[in-house]
Amino acid sequence: MREHTQGRLYTDEAEHDATYQDIKINAGSHRIVATVWIDDAPVHDFNAEQRANARRLVACWNALLPFTTEEIEAGIDLTKEFAQHKELLEVLKELVDGPGVPDIPEAILAKISATLAKSKESLNAIPQEKS
């Protein structure tokens, strides 16, 4: 089986003269990956639900880039993944902000600090598990 298209996708809602309407889902190279057909909408008037479906497909694709198709099909638990990521970042923050560990070189601590700075915003965006 061939690999899927790599990289981020985007929707192309360009209008065109035709008896049908569609939204193309494209890869960065302007290759068409999929087309969402809108059969019941008049020309130049995208059906809102189909537009929302195309946007959601693209958003999910782009959000799941780090995972393999097999992991996604198996039902990856993103809440668990994010929680583990958050926990790891918190441990690293304790390491950097703490009294220091003499066995860790300054260069490594600097890299950890830089990673924490980049991840600070994403920590607040991590979904909390619903009880």
Q: How many CB atoms are located within 10 Å of the residue 46 CB?
A: 18
- Main-chain dihedrals φ then ψ at residue 5, nearest 5 degrees: -60, 135
The string of pLDDT tens digits covering residues 2-29 is 688 888 888 887 666 666 677 888 887 7
**Lowest mean pLDDT: which of 4-8, 10-14, 115-119, 120-124?**
120-124
Give the C-alpha distances (Å, rounded to integers) separating 36 from 10, 60, 102. Answer: 13, 15, 58
How far apart (Å, rounded) are the C-alpha atoms in residues 47 and 37?
10
* pLDDT at residue 58, rounded to an integer: 93
Sheet holding 21-27: strands in order across? 9-12, 21-27, 32-38
First-to-last alpha carbon distance for the chain, in angstroms, is 40
| pLDDT tens digits for range 66-105 | 888 888 889 888 788 778 888 888 888 887 777 766 677 7
